[in-house]
Amino acid sequence: MGAWEITKVFLVLGILLGIFYMLVYLIKKYVLFNKLSSNQKFSIRVLTVQPIMAKKYVSLIQMKDKYYLLGVSDHSISLIDKFEKPEETDGFETDEPTMNQNIWELLKRNIIRK
């Protein structure tokens, strides 16, 4: 087997791997993404994240019409409170997540009143 035959083998192998890579990329992008994005009943929105200490956060998330207050550390995620959609949605319902919104104000208005 000469140098030209070895070069042809590697050239064909490279072309086949490139085609395989492109097929996997296209399947992931168009087929799998469309199936997952059409099922919006499990969408989760992070409304705000407030750091407490190093690697410790309090997060307020929305899933459907329920809100969850989570304590997040580097080792665990704990459910602090769960509540339904509040009647007053001032500062609560936005089209995009607000990372600079003060979580303590949200807690005062929605949880501490209970």
Q: Delimit the domains of the chain by residue range.
A: 3-38, 42-110
Give the model's pLDDT for residue 111: 64
Contacts of 57 (CB under 8 A, 6+ apart): 49, 50, 51, 71, 72, 73
Tens-digit pLDDT profile for residues 11-66: 999 999 999 999 998 888 877 666 555 555 567 888 889 999 998 999 999 888 88
Strand partners, 45: 62
Residue 3 has pLDDT above 80, yes or no: yes
The model carries a pTM of 0.45
pLDDT bracket for residue 77 (50, 70, 90): very high
Give the model's pLDDT for residue 17: 97
